[in-house]
Amino acid sequence: MSISYKELGFVNTNEMFKKAMEGKYAVPAYNFNNMEQLQAIIKGCGESKSPVILQVSSGARNYANPTLLRNLGKGAVEMAGDFGYTVPIALHLDHGDTYELCVSCIESGFSSVMIDGSHHSYDENVQLTKKVVDYAHKYDVTVEGELGVLAGIEDDVVAAESTYTQPAEVEDFVSKTGVDSLAISIGTSHGAFKFKPEDCTLNEDGILVPPPLRFDILEEIEKKIPGFPIVLHGASSVLPKYVAIINENGGSLEAAVGIPEKQLRQAAQSAVCKINIDSDGRLVLTAMIRKVFNEKPDEFDPRKYLGPARDELTSMIINKNTNVLGSSGKY
Ligand code: G3H
Ligand code: 13P
Ligand code: ZN
Protein backbone atom coordinates (compact mmCIF):
# COMPACT_ATOMS: atom_id res chain seq x y z
CA MET A 1 0.00 0.00 0.00
CA SER A 2 1.50 3.35 -0.96
CA ILE A 3 1.17 6.55 1.06
CA SER A 4 1.66 10.17 0.01
CA TYR A 5 4.12 12.34 1.90
CA LYS A 6 1.37 14.93 2.14
CA GLU A 7 -0.61 12.63 4.44
CA LEU A 8 2.45 12.34 6.68
CA GLY A 9 2.87 16.11 6.95
CA PHE A 10 6.07 16.49 4.91
CA VAL A 11 6.65 19.06 2.17
CA ASN A 12 8.75 18.81 -0.99
CA THR A 13 11.75 21.09 -1.42
CA ASN A 14 10.38 23.54 -4.03
CA GLU A 15 9.22 26.29 -1.72
CA MET A 16 12.15 25.81 0.68
CA PHE A 17 14.68 26.31 -2.10
CA LYS A 18 12.84 29.27 -3.60
CA LYS A 19 12.96 31.05 -0.23
CA ALA A 20 16.57 30.00 0.37
CA MET A 21 17.62 31.39 -3.02
CA GLU A 22 15.86 34.70 -2.38
CA GLY A 23 17.07 34.92 1.22
CA LYS A 24 20.66 33.88 0.43
CA TYR A 25 20.89 30.99 2.87
CA ALA A 26 21.04 27.20 2.60
CA VAL A 27 18.57 24.65 3.96
CA PRO A 28 20.27 22.04 6.17
CA ALA A 29 19.95 18.38 5.20
CA TYR A 30 20.82 16.26 8.23
CA ASN A 31 21.15 12.47 7.95
CA PHE A 32 19.57 10.28 10.59
CA ASN A 33 19.63 6.55 11.40
CA ASN A 34 18.06 6.51 14.85
CA MET A 35 15.71 8.20 17.28
CA GLU A 36 18.26 10.34 19.11
CA GLN A 37 19.60 11.88 15.89
CA LEU A 38 16.07 12.61 14.73
CA GLN A 39 15.07 14.18 18.06
CA ALA A 40 18.13 16.45 17.93
CA ILE A 41 17.47 17.48 14.32
CA ILE A 42 13.82 18.35 14.97
CA LYS A 43 14.56 20.18 18.22
CA GLY A 44 17.62 21.97 16.78
CA CYS A 45 15.77 23.10 13.65
CA GLY A 46 12.51 23.80 15.47
CA GLU A 47 14.19 25.94 18.13
CA SER A 48 16.23 27.84 15.54
CA LYS A 49 13.18 28.20 13.27
CA SER A 50 15.01 26.64 10.34
CA PRO A 51 13.47 24.62 7.51
CA VAL A 52 14.89 21.12 7.53
CA ILE A 53 15.48 18.18 5.22
CA LEU A 54 15.55 14.83 7.04
CA GLN A 55 17.89 12.71 5.03
CA VAL A 56 17.85 8.91 4.80
CA SER A 57 20.52 6.89 2.98
CA SER A 58 20.06 3.32 1.83
CA GLY A 59 22.58 2.40 4.55
CA ALA A 60 20.22 3.99 7.08
CA ARG A 61 17.28 2.05 5.65
CA ASN A 62 19.22 -1.19 5.94
CA TYR A 63 20.33 -0.37 9.46
CA ALA A 64 17.07 0.79 10.95
CA ASN A 65 14.46 -0.88 8.74
CA PRO A 66 12.64 1.20 6.09
CA THR A 67 9.20 0.94 7.72
CA LEU A 68 10.49 1.95 11.13
CA LEU A 69 12.47 4.87 9.68
CA ARG A 70 9.50 6.23 7.77
CA ASN A 71 7.35 6.00 10.88
CA LEU A 72 10.05 7.71 12.91
CA GLY A 73 9.88 10.52 10.33
CA LYS A 74 6.09 10.65 10.67
CA GLY A 75 6.46 10.76 14.45
CA ALA A 76 8.97 13.57 14.10
CA VAL A 77 6.44 15.72 12.25
CA GLU A 78 3.91 15.10 15.03
CA MET A 79 6.51 15.82 17.69
CA ALA A 80 7.33 19.12 15.96
CA GLY A 81 3.63 19.97 16.13
CA ASP A 82 3.51 19.13 19.87
CA PHE A 83 6.40 21.53 20.46
CA GLY A 84 4.67 24.24 18.41
CA TYR A 85 7.35 24.26 15.72
CA THR A 86 6.05 25.51 12.40
CA VAL A 87 9.13 24.82 10.28
CA PRO A 88 8.66 22.89 7.02
CA ILE A 89 10.07 19.35 7.09
CA ALA A 90 11.04 17.29 4.01
CA LEU A 91 11.83 13.58 4.02
CA HIS A 92 14.55 12.94 1.45
CA LEU A 93 16.30 9.86 0.06
CA ASP A 94 20.06 10.49 0.09
CA HIS A 95 22.14 8.97 -2.75
CA GLY A 96 19.41 6.85 -4.29
CA ASP A 97 21.21 4.61 -6.74
CA THR A 98 18.36 2.92 -8.63
CA TYR A 99 15.00 3.85 -10.10
CA GLU A 100 13.39 1.08 -8.03
CA LEU A 101 14.74 2.47 -4.75
CA CYS A 102 13.43 5.94 -5.60
CA VAL A 103 9.99 4.52 -6.44
CA SER A 104 9.92 2.52 -3.21
CA CYS A 105 10.74 5.63 -1.16
CA ILE A 106 8.15 7.75 -2.97
CA GLU A 107 5.54 5.05 -2.35
CA SER A 108 6.43 4.97 1.33
CA GLY A 109 6.03 8.72 1.91
CA PHE A 110 9.27 10.49 0.93
CA SER A 111 8.72 14.02 -0.35
CA SER A 112 12.05 14.27 -2.15
CA VAL A 113 14.58 11.85 -3.63
CA MET A 114 18.12 12.03 -4.89
CA ILE A 115 19.01 9.89 -7.86
CA ASP A 116 22.78 9.76 -7.90
CA GLY A 117 23.82 8.78 -11.39
CA SER A 118 27.18 10.47 -11.04
CA HIS A 119 29.09 7.19 -11.28
CA HIS A 120 27.52 6.40 -14.66
CA SER A 121 28.40 7.86 -18.04
CA TYR A 122 26.83 11.25 -18.78
CA ASP A 123 24.20 9.77 -21.09
CA GLU A 124 23.26 7.01 -18.64
CA ASN A 125 23.05 9.57 -15.83
CA VAL A 126 20.67 11.69 -17.97
CA GLN A 127 18.53 8.67 -18.83
CA LEU A 128 18.26 7.34 -15.27
CA THR A 129 17.65 10.76 -13.75
CA LYS A 130 14.92 11.61 -16.27
CA LYS A 131 13.18 8.30 -15.58
CA VAL A 132 13.08 9.08 -11.85
CA VAL A 133 11.92 12.67 -12.47
CA ASP A 134 9.09 11.51 -14.76
CA TYR A 135 7.82 9.20 -12.02
CA ALA A 136 8.42 11.52 -9.05
CA HIS A 137 6.77 14.57 -10.58
CA LYS A 138 3.51 12.65 -11.02
CA TYR A 139 3.34 12.66 -7.21
CA ASP A 140 4.71 16.17 -6.67
CA VAL A 141 7.95 14.73 -5.26
CA THR A 142 11.11 16.76 -5.94
CA VAL A 143 14.27 15.21 -7.39
CA GLU A 144 17.95 16.01 -6.85
CA GLY A 145 20.45 14.88 -9.49
CA GLU A 146 24.24 14.91 -9.42
CA LEU A 147 26.91 15.85 -11.93
CA GLY A 148 30.58 15.36 -11.09
CA VAL A 149 32.02 12.90 -8.57
CA LEU A 150 33.00 13.62 -4.96
CA ALA A 151 36.02 11.87 -3.52
CA GLY A 152 35.29 9.67 -0.51
CA ILE A 153 32.67 7.14 0.33
CA GLU A 154 29.10 7.26 -0.94
CA ASP A 155 27.46 4.15 0.49
CA ASP A 156 29.45 1.33 -1.10
CA VAL A 157 30.94 3.43 -3.88
CA VAL A 158 34.42 4.75 -3.14
CA ALA A 159 36.02 7.36 -5.39
CA ALA A 160 39.71 8.05 -4.81
CA GLU A 161 39.72 11.42 -6.58
CA SER A 162 37.01 13.98 -7.19
CA THR A 163 35.95 14.89 -10.69
CA TYR A 164 34.74 18.46 -10.64
CA THR A 165 31.41 19.24 -12.23
CA GLN A 166 31.85 20.60 -15.75
CA PRO A 167 29.89 23.85 -16.08
CA ALA A 168 29.48 23.15 -19.81
CA GLU A 169 27.25 20.17 -18.98
CA VAL A 170 24.87 21.58 -16.38
CA GLU A 171 22.40 23.39 -18.64
CA ASP A 172 21.95 20.37 -20.88
CA PHE A 173 21.60 18.03 -17.87
CA VAL A 174 19.00 20.18 -16.13
CA SER A 175 16.91 20.71 -19.24
CA LYS A 176 17.06 17.10 -20.43
CA THR A 177 16.24 15.57 -17.04
CA GLY A 178 13.87 18.12 -15.48
CA VAL A 179 15.55 17.80 -12.05
CA ASP A 180 14.59 20.26 -9.31
CA SER A 181 18.09 20.67 -7.86
CA LEU A 182 21.63 19.69 -8.77
CA ALA A 183 24.42 18.35 -6.55
CA ILE A 184 27.82 19.48 -7.78
CA SER A 185 31.44 18.63 -7.09
CA ILE A 186 33.65 21.63 -6.27
CA GLY A 187 36.08 20.10 -3.78
CA THR A 188 33.93 18.79 -0.93
CA SER A 189 34.00 15.08 -0.12
CA HIS A 190 32.24 12.63 2.16
CA GLY A 191 33.39 11.49 5.59
CA ALA A 192 35.74 12.85 8.26
CA PHE A 193 38.94 12.58 6.22
CA LYS A 194 38.16 14.89 3.35
CA PHE A 195 41.69 15.87 2.41
CA LYS A 196 45.08 14.22 2.41
CA PRO A 197 47.32 15.95 4.98
CA GLU A 198 49.89 16.59 2.23
CA ASP A 199 47.30 18.65 0.33
CA CYS A 200 46.69 20.86 3.39
CA THR A 201 48.77 23.61 4.97
CA LEU A 202 49.40 24.01 8.71
CA ASN A 203 48.21 27.29 10.26
CA GLU A 204 49.86 29.04 13.22
CA ASP A 205 47.72 27.02 15.68
CA GLY A 206 48.94 23.75 14.18
CA ILE A 207 45.57 23.11 12.51
CA LEU A 208 45.43 21.58 9.02
CA VAL A 209 43.88 23.99 6.51
CA PRO A 210 42.46 22.31 3.40
CA PRO A 211 42.64 23.66 -0.14
CA PRO A 212 39.77 26.09 -0.82
CA LEU A 213 36.57 25.01 -2.56
CA ARG A 214 36.41 25.82 -6.29
CA PHE A 215 34.16 28.86 -6.08
CA ASP A 216 35.20 29.70 -9.63
CA ILE A 217 33.43 26.55 -10.87
CA LEU A 218 30.37 27.36 -8.75
CA GLU A 219 30.22 30.84 -10.29
CA GLU A 220 30.43 29.44 -13.81
CA ILE A 221 27.64 26.99 -13.02
CA GLU A 222 25.50 29.82 -11.65
CA LYS A 223 25.97 31.72 -14.90
CA LYS A 224 24.85 28.71 -16.95
CA ILE A 225 21.71 28.00 -14.87
CA PRO A 226 20.82 31.25 -13.07
CA GLY A 227 18.54 30.86 -10.07
CA PHE A 228 18.71 27.05 -10.13
CA PRO A 229 19.10 25.36 -6.70
CA ILE A 230 22.54 23.84 -6.15
CA VAL A 231 23.35 21.20 -3.51
CA LEU A 232 26.63 20.64 -1.67
CA HIS A 233 27.33 17.13 -0.42
CA GLY A 234 30.24 16.24 1.83
CA ALA A 235 29.91 19.57 3.61
CA SER A 236 30.69 18.70 7.21
CA SER A 237 33.28 20.90 8.87
CA VAL A 238 34.68 18.01 10.96
CA LEU A 239 34.61 20.36 13.93
CA PRO A 240 38.02 20.22 15.68
CA LYS A 241 36.33 20.54 19.10
CA TYR A 242 34.66 17.13 18.75
CA VAL A 243 37.65 15.46 17.09
CA ALA A 244 39.69 16.59 20.13
CA ILE A 245 37.14 15.17 22.62
CA ILE A 246 37.20 11.86 20.73
CA ASN A 247 40.99 11.71 20.77
CA GLU A 248 41.18 12.74 24.45
CA ASN A 249 38.83 9.92 25.38
CA GLY A 250 40.48 6.94 23.80
CA GLY A 251 39.65 7.59 20.14
CA SER A 252 42.07 7.84 17.29
CA LEU A 253 41.02 10.23 14.55
CA GLU A 254 44.25 11.64 13.27
CA ALA A 255 44.28 14.07 10.34
CA ALA A 256 40.50 14.45 10.23
CA VAL A 257 39.80 17.60 8.18
CA GLY A 258 36.56 19.16 6.97
CA ILE A 259 35.26 22.16 5.06
CA PRO A 260 35.96 25.43 6.91
CA GLU A 261 32.78 27.10 8.15
CA LYS A 262 33.69 30.39 6.47
CA GLN A 263 33.64 28.74 3.07
CA LEU A 264 30.28 27.10 3.76
CA ARG A 265 28.92 30.49 4.83
CA GLN A 266 30.07 31.90 1.50
CA ALA A 267 28.51 28.98 -0.41
CA ALA A 268 25.20 29.36 1.46
CA GLN A 269 24.94 32.95 0.21
CA SER A 270 25.20 31.79 -3.40
CA ALA A 271 22.90 29.48 -5.40
CA VAL A 272 23.72 26.68 -2.96
CA CYS A 273 20.31 26.04 -1.38
CA LYS A 274 20.97 22.70 0.37
CA ILE A 275 23.97 21.68 2.44
CA ASN A 276 24.36 18.03 3.50
CA ILE A 277 25.68 17.21 6.95
CA ASP A 278 26.18 13.73 8.29
CA SER A 279 29.74 13.34 9.57
CA ASP A 280 29.56 16.32 11.95
CA GLY A 281 26.59 14.72 13.69
CA ARG A 282 28.38 11.38 13.92
CA LEU A 283 31.41 13.06 15.47
CA VAL A 284 29.33 14.89 18.09
CA LEU A 285 27.59 11.68 19.18
CA THR A 286 30.84 9.71 19.27
CA ALA A 287 32.63 12.45 21.24
CA MET A 288 29.96 12.74 23.94
CA ILE A 289 29.45 8.99 24.30
CA ARG A 290 33.21 8.41 24.59
CA LYS A 291 33.42 11.17 27.21
CA VAL A 292 30.72 9.60 29.39
CA PHE A 293 32.25 6.13 29.03
CA ASN A 294 35.67 7.48 29.96
CA GLU A 295 34.50 9.58 32.91
CA LYS A 296 31.91 7.12 34.25
CA PRO A 297 33.08 3.59 33.52
CA ASP A 298 30.25 2.16 35.65
CA GLU A 299 27.49 3.79 33.55
CA PHE A 300 25.36 1.35 31.60
CA ASP A 301 22.01 3.10 31.19
CA PRO A 302 21.88 4.06 27.46
CA ARG A 303 19.85 7.17 28.32
CA LYS A 304 22.78 8.45 30.38
CA TYR A 305 25.16 8.46 27.43
CA LEU A 306 22.78 8.86 24.50
CA GLY A 307 20.96 11.73 26.26
CA PRO A 308 23.99 14.04 26.62
CA ALA A 309 25.07 13.11 23.08
CA ARG A 310 21.64 14.05 21.75
CA ASP A 311 21.68 17.39 23.64
CA GLU A 312 25.09 18.31 22.29
CA LEU A 313 23.94 17.42 18.77
CA THR A 314 20.96 19.75 19.22
CA SER A 315 23.34 22.59 20.15
CA MET A 316 25.64 21.85 17.22
CA ILE A 317 22.67 21.99 14.85
CA ILE A 318 21.42 25.30 16.25
CA ASN A 319 24.90 26.74 15.91
CA LYS A 320 25.29 25.49 12.34
CA ASN A 321 21.90 26.79 11.23
CA THR A 322 22.57 30.15 12.84
CA ASN A 323 26.21 30.82 12.11
CA VAL A 324 27.02 28.81 9.00
CA LEU A 325 23.97 28.09 6.83
CA GLY A 326 22.04 31.21 7.79
CA SER A 327 18.76 29.26 7.86
CA SER A 328 17.79 30.23 11.43
CA GLY A 329 14.78 32.45 11.94
CA LYS A 330 13.44 31.94 8.42
CA TYR A 331 10.12 30.34 9.55
O1 G3H B 1 26.78 10.53 1.78
C2 G3H B 1 26.68 9.62 2.58
C3 G3H B 1 25.98 9.85 3.86
O4 G3H B 1 26.87 10.38 4.81
C5 G3H B 1 25.30 8.61 4.32
O6 G3H B 1 26.23 7.70 4.82
O7 G3H B 1 25.64 5.65 3.56
O8 G3H B 1 26.94 5.52 5.69
O9 G3H B 1 24.52 6.11 5.70
P10 G3H B 1 25.81 6.14 4.95
P1 13P C 1 29.52 14.67 5.22
O2 13P C 1 30.19 13.34 5.25
O3 13P C 1 30.51 15.76 4.93
O4 13P C 1 28.73 14.96 6.43
O5 13P C 1 28.50 14.67 3.97
C6 13P C 1 27.23 14.09 4.10
C7 13P C 1 26.54 13.94 2.80
O8 13P C 1 26.90 14.48 1.78
C9 13P C 1 25.32 13.12 2.80
O10 13P C 1 24.82 12.95 1.51
ZN1 ZN D 1 26.33 12.89 -0.01
Write the pLDDT tens digit of every residue in 162-210. 789 999 999 999 999 999 999 999 999 999 999 888 889 988 877 788 9
Residues in the chain: 331
- In sequence order, what are the residues at sequence separation of 6 or more whose Cβ sits closer than 8 angstroms to the Cβ of residue 233? 146, 150, 154, 183, 188, 190, 276
Nearest-CA residue for ligand 2 atom 1 is 234
Q: Nearest 5°: phi and psi at 268?
A: -65, -25
CATH label, 20-325, candidates 3.90.800.10, 1.10.260.40, 3.20.20.70, 1.20.120.160: 3.20.20.70
> Pairing relation of β-strands 27-31 and 52-57?
parallel
Nearest-CA residue for ligand 1 atom 9 is 59
Please tell me the distance between residue 36's alpha carbon and the centre of ligand 3 in angstroms: 21
Nearest to 112 by CA among 273, 298, 263, 331: 273
Nearest-CA residue for ligand 2 atom 5 is 234
Distance CA 26, CA 17 (A): 8
Please tell me the distance between residue 241's alpha carbon and the centre of ligand 3 in angstroms: 23
Write the pLDDT tens digit of every residue in 81-101. 999 999 999 999 999 999 999
H or E element at residue 114: strand 112-115
> 194 CB less than 6 Å from ligand 1?
no
Ligand closest to 154 (CA) is 1
Write out the chain's pLDDT in tens, 331 residues.
Answer: 799 999 999 999 999 999 999 999 999 999 999 999 999 999 999 999 999 999 999 999 999 999 999 899 999 999 999 999 999 999 999 999 999 999 999 999 999 999 999 999 999 999 999 999 999 999 999 999 999 988 765 545 556 667 899 999 999 999 999 999 999 999 999 999 998 888 899 888 777 889 999 999 999 999 999 999 999 999 999 999 999 999 999 999 988 999 999 999 999 999 999 999 999 999 999 999 999 999 999 999 999 999 999 999 999 999 999 999 999 999 9
Q: Nearest 5°: phi and psi at 280?
A: -60, -40
Please tell me the distance between residue 234's alpha carbon and the centre of ligand 3 in angstroms: 5
Nearest ligand 2 atom to the CA of 150 is 8
> 116 CB less than 6 Å from ligand 1?
no
Nearest ligand 1 atom to the CA of 60 is 9
Q: Show the ligand 2 pocket: residues with CB < 6 angstroms.
A: 31, 94-95, 190-191, 233-236, 276-280
Ligand closest to 283 (CA) is 2
Nearest-CA residue for ligand 1 atom 2 is 154
Which among 118, 243, 279 is the best mutation to test ligand 2's pocket, defined by most ligand atoms within 8 Å of the CB? 279
Nearest ligand 2 atom to the CA of 94 is 10
Please tell me the distance between residue 34's alpha carbon and the centre of ligand 1 in angstroms: 13
Distance CA 148, CA 118 (A): 6
- Hey, how many other C-beta atoms are within 10 angstroms of the C-beta on 115? 27
**Catalytic residue positions, numbered:** 94
Nearest-CA residue for ligand 1 atom 7 is 155
Nearest-CA residue for ligand 1 atom 5 is 57
- Hey, how many other C-beta atoms are within 10 angstroms of the C-beta on 78? 11
C-alpha pair distances (Å), 154 with each of 84, 233, 238: 35, 10, 17
Beta bridge partners of 145: 182
Is 52:45 a contact under the CB 8 Å cutoff?
A: yes
Res 107: pLDDT: 97
Which among 155, 233, 276, 280 is the best mutation to test ligand 1's pocket, defined by most ligand atoms within 8 Å of the CB? 155
H or E element at residue 135: helix 122-138
Distance CA 235, CA 183 (A): 12
Please tell me the distance between residue 1's alpha carbon and the centre of ligand 2 in angstroms: 31
Res 161: pLDDT: 67
Please tell me the distance between residue 154's alpha carbon and the centre of ligand 3 in angstroms: 6
- In sequence order, what are the residues at sequence separation of 6 or more whose Cβ sits closer than 8 angstroms to the Cβ of residue 227? 21, 271
Domain boundaries defined on the chain: 20-325
Nearest ligand 1 atom to the CA of 155 is 7
